Each structure stands twice: as C-alpha cells, then as structure tokens.
Amino acid sequence: MIGVLTMNKERDNMLVENTLKGNISSFEELIRLYQVKIFNFLSKMTASREDAEEITQEVFIKVYKNLYKYNNKWSFSTWIYRIAINTLRSEYRKIKNNKDIDYYATIPELPANFSDYPEIAYEIKEQSVEIIKLIDQLKEDQKTALLLRCMQDFSFKEIGDILGITPDAAKMKIQRAKQSICRKYEKLQERGR
C-alpha cells in the first residue's frame, strides 16, 4: 500500500511539474485522475448533483490558478481535497439557502433482484434517505471527516491534514458523527418516523 501511495505521489508531482511548465495534457491527466473522486465527495456533501458539478468545476479552476503554490512535499490528493472543502464552504453557502434538497436523488438504484420485493426495496430506500438526512444535519466538520473516511477511504492522518487538525482529532470527529447519527436514528425509530 505504501508503495502505491509513493508511486501516486511521484506521478502527481510529475504531472504538476509538467503543468507548471505549460504542458496542458498533464493538467488534463490530473483532472482525469481526481475529477470523479472530487465530484463524488461533493455530491455527498451537497446532496445535489448539479451543485456538486458546479463546485467541482470551480475546484479545478482554483487548482489550476493556484498550482504554483503546491508544495511537492505534500500529498496532492490532500491538497486538492482541502481546496474542495474550502470551495464547498464558500460556494455552497450561497447555493444551499436557495434550494430544497431532494434526498431521494442521492440514493443509488437498488439491484434488479429487489424488484421482486418492492416492500423491502421501499423500506431500504426510506432508511437510506433518513440516514442521509441525519448525515446532512451533522456539524460541517464532522460530516466532512465522516465522508472523507467512509466514502473516500482517507486515513485519519490524511483527514487531519485536509482539515488542519491532528489524526486523533479527526478520529474523534468521526466517532462523534457516528454516535450522533446512531442516537438520532434510534429516536426516529422509537417515534416510528
């Protein structure tokens, strides 16, 4: 695993260096490597495909404009996620106040074999929506840490680097997020939704 991370870091650093020398195809390769990951993360954070697309585009504009500030001692993925989070914070405040969120649109389709059991499929979808709503209600830093860990598979150290906190603080934020979701979900179940 460490060998892969080192290779990725070397690859990313080479692409950044080539982009700074004017090689646009190197930047296109960085986009190809990170666009889907950033988009998926932002779509979970915003619960909106359109907002995630808009913010993802803004992230890559900022990355390109600020590439000269990147220090190759850092992990490029950590650096780009930090830009994504900062862009999300500044852009999403403007967007979120003007929209209702369609939580059902964030649920992926269930496998075809569930079509034989519509009541089970319905229940799974309803529970998924409730959990997504609970995640959306978390404090922003807890939500960010939780999604970086669960959806993007970042280590506590990487999450700490992205958020500017220690790995232990990142771990604590994730633990508190999970506890909050469990507590609120249990209350929903007791009330019968």
The CATH number of 1-100 is 1.10.1740.10
Give me the CATH topology for the region 117-193: Arc Repressor Mutant, subunit A (1.10.10)
Tokens (6 digits) for 121: 């499929």
C-beta atoms surrounding 117 within 10 Å = 12
Q: What residue spans define the domains of the chain?
A: 1-100, 117-193
- The reported pLDDT for the residue numbered 74 is 86
Percentage of the chain exceeding pLDDT 90: 52
- The reported pLDDT for the residue numbered 53 is 94
Rounded alpha-carbon distances, angstroms, from residue 144 to 59, 99, 174: 16, 20, 9
pLDDT-based confidence at residue 87 (cuts at 50, 70, 90): very high
Tokens (6 digits) for 21: 């020398």
Rounded alpha-carbon distances, angstroms, from residue 73 to 14, 40, 131: 12, 26, 38
- The reported pLDDT for the residue numbered 99 is 52
| DSSP code string of 118-164 | HHHHHHHHHHHHHHHHHHHHS-HHHHHHHHHHHTT---HHHHHHHHT
Rounded to two decimals, what is the model's pTM? 0.72
Cβ proximity of 124 and 110 under 8 Å: yes
Largest CA distance in the chain: 61
